[in-house]
Amino acid sequence: MQSRLIKRFCSAAALAAIMAAAPLHAGEISETEGNSTPNVAVRMTITASVASDKRMPDLTPQDIVVSQGKERLKVSNLVSAQGERARLDLFILIDDGCDPGVGMHLDDLRTFINAQPSTTAIGVGYMSNATVQVVQNFTTDHPAAAKALRLPMGNRGSYGSPYFSVIDLMKRWPATENRREVLMVTDGIDRRLGMSWRGLSIIPDVDSAAELAMRTGTIIHTIYAPGAGRLSRNYWAATNGQMGIAKLSDVSGGESFFLGLQMPVSFAPYLDKLQKILDNQYLLSFSAQPGKKGQLQNVTISTEVAGVEFASADAVWVPASK
């Protein structure tokens, strides 16, 4: 009896060892240790940067570290957003409540739009009344998009909120596999709050906009430009607005540009930096553990390659398990 038990134990141990050593076939879905729910593949756009005098090294999936708490997730692919993968939908979103002085920077924006590659579709719209007035749908006719730019009205209407406006835009965004990015020009003040902004450390609607941006994979870049009217001259309101758009950009993986609370001397340096960002983006795919419902999961993107840093959204949308 003891001999038979030993034989059975040895056979089971040998079978387990063989199964553990056998690699997964291509196309199979791996399982998280101790969890029978299959992982799902998710994708996000990330931006790499190096010091200005350095050359961007060739990056491979093995160079990328995707962390979720203390757990390292499996990276399946990393593709430079160039060539056939360069397609980008970029929406220029200007606050109609901006000071009309923004008009002296419209030529900088036109130059930037006209310099975009043929793989970039440009849309143009103006924020007012917590919505977006689209004056140019996405188009690869860049001169037409540049021509659609106009002076802001100096009034964003009753209850104007740049955060509700960008939410409106993201909800109306056409479904494509292209990168999704927004350039917002605004002071970030949420006039929908009236005077209730007093004492707030951050505007509540920022979190709603940031959550939808991460859920839809939309990267939001912002340029601070003073608004028109009395509230824009209030230091507390203006500072709070600038903090709001800076947080929205940071959480979504974008960049926020500002020169204190002043009108920038020129948009050109900001747009040059934005162009460099767009030219150094990658499509990153990795495996994540789904829940019973679709949810945002916090992730951190890093690398062990010296001198390289990544900007990315704080979280990625993971669909529910099937």
What is the reported pLDDT for 17? 40
Q: How many domains does the chain have?
A: 1
pLDDT category, 15, cuts 50, 70, 90?
Answer: very low
Name the residue range of residue 166's domain. 88-279
Note the pLDDT tens digit of each residue in 23-50: 333 333 344 444 557 889 999 999 999 8
Residue 305 belongs to some domain of the structure: no
Residue 271 belongs to some domain of the structure: yes
Residue 130 belongs to some domain of the structure: yes
Note the pLDDT tens digit of each residue in 153-175: 877 766 788 999 999 999 999 99
d(CA 44, CA 282): 8
Residue 30 belongs to some domain of the structure: no
d(CA 191, CA 195): 8
What is the reported pLDDT for 235? 83
- Of 37-51, 183-197, 279-293, give the lowest mean pLDDT range: 183-197
Residue 26 belongs to some domain of the structure: no
Residue 27 belongs to some domain of the structure: no
d(CA 74, CA 1): 45
The answer to whether the CB of 152 falls within 8 A of the CB of 123 is: no
**Residue 303 neighbours by CB under 8 Å, 6+ apart:** 59, 63, 64, 65, 309, 310
Residue 270 belongs to some domain of the structure: yes
Distance of CA 19 to the CA centre of its chain: 41
Note the pLDDT tens digit of each residue in 259-274: 888 888 999 999 999 9
Q: Is residue 154 left, alpha or beta, with left meaning phi > 0 and alpha meaning psi from -120 to 50?
A: left
Residue 299 belongs to some domain of the structure: no
CATH number at residue 267: 3.40.50.410
Q: Is the pLDDT of residue 290 over 60?
A: yes
